[in-house]
Amino acid sequence: MRHAVRNTGAVVGLAFALAALAISPALAVSLQRFHAARDGQDIEISAPRADILRVRIGRSGLPEDASWAVVDAARTATTPIDVADDGVASVLTTPALQARLNKSTWRLTVVDPAGHTILADTDSGALDFHNGGFRLRKAMPVDAHYFGLGDKTGGLDRRGQAFTLWNTDAFGYGESGDPLYKSIPFVLGADELGHAFGLLLDNTWRGFFDFGKSERDTLSFGAEGGPIDYYVLAGPDAKAVVKQYAWLTGAAPLAPMWALGFQQSRYSYKNEAELRDIADRLRADRIPADVLYMDIDYQDRNRPFTVNPKAYPDLAKLFADLRGMNLRVVMITDLHVADAPNAGYSPYDTGKAGNVFLKNPDCSDYVGLVWPGNAVFPDFSRSSVRDWWGGLYAGFHAAGAAGFWNDMNEPAIFQRRDRTMPLETVHHIEEPGFAARTASHSEMHNVYGMLNSRGTYEGLLKIAPDERPFVLTRASFAGGQRYAATWSGDNSSTWNHLKLSIPQLINLGLSGFGYAGDDIGGYGGSAPSPELLTRWIEIGAFNPIFRDHVATDKPRQEVWVHGLEQEAIRRRYIEERYRLMPYLYSLAEENSRNGMPLMRPVFLEFPDVLAKGWDFGGTMDQFMLGADLLVAPPSAMESPAAYGVRLPGAGWYDYWSGLRLAGAATEEIPALDRMPVFVRPGAIIPRQPLVQSTGETPKGALELAVYPGDSCRGELYLDDGVSFAFQRGAFLRQKVTCASGQGGVTMTFGGREGDFKPWWNGFTIVLHGWTASNATAFLNGLAVNVVRDPRMQTLTIELPDISSLSVLQIGA
Ligand code: GLC
């Protein structure tokens, strides 16, 4: 077997020569890209950065080097790799990993500098080609667990299951339904020692991931066509993988703060009076809320970008009035354009004039049946078409709509058994970085929804360059977090769907989509019981996106529908979310920097729970909101049986009482009004006075709830919540730490970064876990007043606003 090594980087001639000489390790050569060929196949291995390996394989020449998922700067980056030849294998080394490529079999093994295997091909048959598609096989160690793939059903761990990547309008999907709306070919693997790696297959075709289901101990993945182009992210731990993935595919831009508020939706509030009623009731009942949705019935005959003037006669007035109540409106704008020539329907007319629609193989426009009846479909893989699409938002934006909802973008087609368009439908790729060419729907299907939301996002940015767009999309692909938030589609009003939402949202977060939610209360099925809707709201209050939404044929599902007693419980949880807004918002800001999801599996913060063999951090249902709050819903939510909560380590605090727990586990009785939440010892959590909307400025002091423990820290982040002024310095960032010792606690306030002026007039420090019988406090050496509550074991200290380095010394 011939094995030629060639460098596609700078030192081609040298590498050629060394390959011919069969170099020894001592004669390692530094390359930007390693290239080998055998039997007509080509392989290229590069390291976009030292801890990420990229592998491309082609059957006849390397595949096109282009991507919808990976950002250009990451895809084209290379870091030097030392390449040596030990006779059997080419040995490729970076400071963070080493890859061995067997010269005759091309079996690839990636290890870390300590020799621990990150990811290795199976011993034999590691790559098969069949019918234009391929399957790669990696060994699955017994102690490895797999996460990611977006909101696929099943438990948190993908091990033992297999999934299809094919965006699907999965209305009424069951607890193990697959495929669903999104395809995110990214997996995070973690073993029981806490080693973690990532694997991204950058291929848009119908694909699959099989975690030892069809072949024992084998992780196989592949696609029906397209390039073999995958990345191995070397970790070494799960947080590092999340950051590496964000570096490759981009982090979600910081959302407007209002997107973190409570959102009320329904298919549909059929007219202006209904929508105003909802707004009035939210305010009358003092249910904090930020967003109302307008689903398809506001439109004229379901035609996107039209309004039925009888139902909604004056959008601008409506939106202005609602804004006066601190409520914003998100409008649905599906991507199917009604096939309505000569009807004065401008999306069709301008689209037709610009020849923007997808084609049948005979060059006619492809027509499919969706909500408006026959419809045509924009070709979002042409950047000029995305520009045209983005321009369609000018009118609704000018009227005052705050955000947009891109639904049905798998794309969903009603009349066909496969629920989508024929695979031969013709797309045109006209995109910087890609060769201009036609592409079949087989290739473009899985990215179609993402490109739809990209057109929307980028269009909104052009219309209002200093306003953070909010786009909600149903279908997407790896990297889609750069353009839109998402939700898990048409779930059902069942306890099992509520339970399922937790691993779905956690895995979406690990797959880049930090902003993810589900239809609170359930979309389809029969109406939720009062208890189910209440629990759903309690859990949703700790999810990144918090939207109550329900299908058209179902009864009302707003917070108040089951009477005062249920409403009071629900209100308390929604209020708590608003009190936690400073914490939530700082998580969103962190997500925008490094991809860290807002909602996290426990093992992301506490990798040793994997070693303990816990179900990835306590029960399968536990999750973290940020690094500090652990939410522990009942494990059998509908049953009144007591259940155990396992906490990673001792000394946690009960969030609601603020009291410190004695051990590392508690027994919970699932009273309907209690959602157990615990605080990490060492957390400093900012909370604000209650407001009814993020549009309302809180009054008074910012509370800093301090829960002493190891690595005690908190971070404040604030900006105007809506514009990009934070990129120009109008933000506030401040680190606060605390240390316990010598019978006291010392809090250190760092200096403030940024020049944004906060709303608060001071800090209220609430120190938890104080058991001594007296207390004193000194701010920078000067005594300050302390109020001790022995029953709640708290100290409360009112301070002025502190913006420069300061020390608060608390002692007995
Ligand atoms: C789809 C969406 C759902 C929406 C409906 C009408 O089923 O998933 O959320 O309400 O279409 O637009």
- Nearest-atom number in ligand 1 for the CA of 552 is 10
pLDDT score, position 90 = 98
pLDDT at 457 > cutoff 90 = yes
- Nearest-atom number in ligand 1 for the CA of 266 is 10
The pTM is what?
A: 0.96
pLDDT at 206 > cutoff 70 = yes
**What residue owns the CA closest to ligand 1's atom 3?**
490
User: What is the percent of the chain where pLDDT is above 70?
Assistant: 96
Top mutation candidate among 268, 295, 336, 419 for ligand 1, by most atoms within 8 Å of CB: 295
User: What is the percent of the chain where pLDDT is above 90?
Assistant: 92
pLDDT band for position 1 (50/70/90)?
very low
Cα–Cα distance between 702 and 698 in angstroms, integer? 9
Cα–Cα distance between 573 and 29 in angstroms, integer? 60
User: Average pLDDT, stretch 19-34?
Assistant: 68
User: Average pLDDT, stretch 37-52?
Assistant: 96
Q: Pinpoint the alpha helices (H) of 162-270.
A: 238-249
- Residues 400-428 have pLDDT tens digits of 999 999 999 999 999 999 999 999 999 99
The 3-state secondary structure of 595-652, one letter per residue: CCCCEECHHHHCCHHHHCCCCCCCCCCCEEECCCEEECCCCCCCCCCCEEEECCCCCC
CA-to-CA separations, 444 to 150, 183, 426, 510, 542, in angstroms, rounded: 19, 12, 9, 24, 35
pLDDT score, position 26 = 55
pLDDT score, position 799 = 98
CB-based contact 581:634 (threshold 8 Å): no
CA 372, distance to chain mean position in Å, is 31
SS3 (DSSP) at 447: helix
pLDDT score, position 620 = 73
CB-based contact 392:459 (threshold 8 Å): yes
Q: Which phi and psi (to 5°) does residue 134 adopt? A: -155, 160
Asked about 490 being catalytic, the answer comes back as: yes
pLDDT at 640 > cutoff 90 = no
pLDDT score, position 611 = 83
Residue with tokens 């800001």: 589
pLDDT score, position 617 = 58
Structure tokens given for 163: 């999934």
pLDDT score, position 613 = 76
Domains belonging to the chain, first-starting first, are 1-110 (no CATH), 700-811 (2.60.40.1180)
Identify the helix (H) or strand (E) that includes residue 18.
helix 12-20
Residue with tokens 């004669």: 27
pLDDT band for position 22 (50/70/90)?
very low
- Residues 553-605 have pLDDT tens digits of 999 999 999 999 999 999 999 999 999 999 999 999 999 999 999 999 999 99
**Residue 648 CA, ligand 1 centroid: distance in Å:** 39
**Residue 267 CA, ligand 1 centroid: distance in Å:** 7
Top mutation candidate among 167, 265, 407 for ligand 1, by most atoms within 8 Å of CB: 407
CB-based contact 443:427 (threshold 8 Å): yes
pLDDT band for position 618 (50/70/90)?
low
Q: Is 593 exposed, middle or buried (0-12, 13-18, 19+ CB in 10 A)?
A: exposed
**Residue 407 CA, ligand 1 centroid: distance in Å:** 7
Q: Minimum mean pLDDT among 193-197, 273-277, 283-287: which range?
A: 193-197
CA 85, distance to chain mean position in Å, is 41
Q: Pinpoint the alpha helices (H) of 121-237.
A: none
Among candidate residues 210, 295, 334, 490, the one labeled active-site is 490
* Ligand 1 residue neighbourhood (C-beta within 6 Å): 171, 267, 295-296, 332, 407, 474, 489-490, 549
Structure tokens given for 426: 């013709």
Identify the helix (H) or strand (E) that includes residue 406.
strand 403-406
- Residues 777-810 have pLDDT tens digits of 999 999 999 999 999 999 999 999 999 999 999 9
User: Average pLDDT, stretch 141-169?
Assistant: 96
**Residue 151 CA, ligand 1 centroid: distance in Å:** 17
Cα–Cα distance between 720 and 740 in angstroms, integer? 34
Q: Share the mean pLDDT of the chain.
A: 95
Among candidate residues 151, 229, 297, 407, the one labeled active-site is 407
pLDDT at 25 > cutoff 70 = no
pLDDT at 664 > cutoff 60 = yes
Question: Nearest Cα to 52, choosing from 150, 152, 186?
Answer: 186
Top mutation candidate among 266, 267, 303 for ligand 1, by most atoms within 8 Å of CB: 267
- Nearest-atom number in ligand 1 for the CA of 407 is 2
Bridging pattern class, strands 262-264 and 546-548? parallel
Strand ranges, E, within 661-727: 665-668, 677-679, 683-687, 702-707, 712-719
The 3-state secondary structure of 470-516, one letter per residue: CEEECCCECCHHHCCEEECCCCECCHHHHHHHHHHHHHHHHCCCCCE
